[in-house]
Amino acid sequence: MRYVTSAALGLALIAATPVGAAPAHFSATITRTTFGIPHIRATTWGGLGYGVAYAYAQDNLCMLAEEFATVAGERSRWFGPKESAVLGFDKIDNLSSDVFFRSVIDVPTLRAGMARGNPTTRALVRGYVAGYNKLLRDIGPAGV
């Protein structure tokens, strides 16, 4: 359960990253092996986060979007309150999951911590958010 909570808090930090400021330019090169394994090359930490998110979203978009809905406490909204999810190794109904995540994740505190955080971590997170959003723009609604 500690792993699930840590992963959820990490995703919440990404989801809680403030938007609205002028977007930074991020750049990365994604090269895939013959087995489809992505190798990311970037000259900045932000570029690395950008490339990792873009490649991960290419491979796991639905899973990543579901995780974002989970840590935002919105599973009931999108999947119905009586449906369930697996958290760790336990099956839990969406309404209980939403109550848990909304009670545990404090978005203002996460934003404040992010603002005070390590510049490398901030760059990685901002790049990650930009990479995920870029993939969504590239594929559009029909591509999802």
CA distance 126 to 46: 6
pLDDT tens, position by position, 77-129: 999 999 998 888 999 999 999 999 999 999 899 999 999 999 999 999 999 99
CB 54 within 8 A of CB 131: yes
pTM of the model: 0.78
Could you give the domains of the chain? 2-17+25-143 (1.10.439.10)
Compute the CA torsion angle 63, 101, 124, 29 (nearest 10 deg). 10
